[in-house]
Amino acid sequence: MTRAGFVGLAGRPNAGKSTLVNAIVGAHVAIVSDRPQTTRRAIRGVATDEAAGWQLVMTDLPGVQRPRDALTERMQRRVEREIADSDAVLLVINGEQGVGPGDRFISKALLAVNADTPVLCAVNKLDRVSDAETAAVLSAAAELGGVDEVFPLSAKAGEGLEPLVQRLAELVPEGPFMFPPEQRSDVPSEVQLAELVREQVLRRTREELPHAVEVEVEEVDERDDGLTEVHAKVWAETESQKGILIGKGGARIKEIGTAARAELERELGTRVFLDLQVRVRPRWRRDEGLLDRLGIE
Ligand SMILES: Nc1nc2c(ncn2[C@@H]2O[C@H](COP(=O)(O)OP(=O)(O)OP(=O)(O)O)[C@@H](O)[C@H]2O)c(=O)[nH]1
Ligand SMILES: [Mg+2]
């Protein structure tokens, strides 16, 4: 009999949830950046060990925060729904920052949403922390209400993953696999491509801009000559943001496009022609219709 189930990831923005999902899945399914609130959509990464007979569907979620607009409200509601439906919860803590009020707030919220679900706690970024500090943060994590077990690790270095994955595989219920074993993510191709473009925007812009930018892939065209044409819009909220995105003489958007094209080629396994159009859409973060179209539920 196989085991299969959903693991919902919770934690403060920037704790390393997406990095951990990618490490466990062994593929670049969720985008990562050093900006808080990188993740906007719930993305499922699928990890399967056919020989051992288990499948973990890891639901990467936005970092928990206070909602400010329709976008962040949707993100927050989605987190609560996903956590309520998970077979196990993985609370990710930024070990470099230590356990703080935000982590206590989240662990309390987890108990309220789903008190019967096991909660494992991953204390992450320990590659950046001394041994003495590691001991302190691990015991602080163990004392969080509702946390059943604590796992020290570094998602970025890929250290400490094995015991955590083994434990999760024991916790999910018996049942058939929910995805074909070779599948790595449930995200529709257009959204995945748009996210890879957005990752490059986040890496090449500063301060407030990242939160104001969204990417929409409008058309993907596989041409007979083996080239894939990808047409995407980069949405900003103001003309000045648009100017920053484009850069002097178009330098920045060109840089973003070159880096994004390389990522798309890796993802699609073909050569890619990427057409990026920067557009202004005032207050897009409050525009429920656009959020629907962008697949942010
Ligand atoms: N040194 C170190 N950095 C890490 C580790 N894990 C993640 N990071 C870095 O931390 C930053 C945030 O990582 P993400 O995976 O995007 O964090 P997240 O929790 O998904 O963030 P949100 O989506 O904003 O909630 C990135 O710059 C990662 O490279 C780790 O184990 N060690
Ligand atoms: Mg994330």
Reported as a single tens digit per residue, the pLDDT across 26-70 is: 999 999 999 888 998 889 999 999 999 999 999 999 887 777 888
Tell me the sheet residues that pair with 185: 45
Burial classification of residue 121, based on how many CB atoms lie within 10 Å of its CB (0-12 exposed, 13-18 middle, 19 or more buried): buried
Burial classification of residue 11, based on how many CB atoms lie within 10 Å of its CB (0-12 exposed, 13-18 middle, 19 or more buried): buried
**Which residues does the chain have with pLDDT short of 50?**
none
Residue nearest to atom 27 of ligand 1 (CA): 34
pLDDT for the residue 187: 87
Query: For residue 35, which atom of ligand 1 is closest to its CA?
Result: 24
User: Helix (H, G, I), strand (E, B), or coil: what is residue 236?
Assistant: strand
pLDDT for the residue 113: 80
User: pTM for the whole thing?
Assistant: 0.92
**Residue at 38: amino acid letter:** T
Q: 207: left (phi > 0), else alpha (psi -120 to 50), else beta?
A: left
pLDDT for the residue 232: 97
Residue 128 Cα to ligand 2 midpoint, Å, equals: 19
pLDDT for the residue 50: 97
The residues near 119 (Cβ < 8 Å, ≥ 6 apart) are 88, 89, 90, 91, 107, 110, 146, 147, 148
Query: For residue 39, which atom of ligand 1 is closest to its CA?
Result: 23
With a Cβ cut-off of 6 Å, ligand 1 is lined by 11, 13-19, 32-34, 36-39, 62-63, 124-125, 127-128, 154-156
- Taken in order of first residue, the domains within the chain and their CATH numbers are 3-171 (3.40.50.300), 189-293 (3.30.300.20)
Q: What tokens appear for 215 in the block?
A: 């990417």
pLDDT for the residue 208: 67
Which ligand has an atom closest to residue 32 CA?
A: 1
pLDDT for the residue 201: 95
pLDDT for the residue 42: 86
**Distance (Å, whole) CA 139 – CA 17:** 20
pLDDT in tens, 107-122: 988 888 878 899 999 9
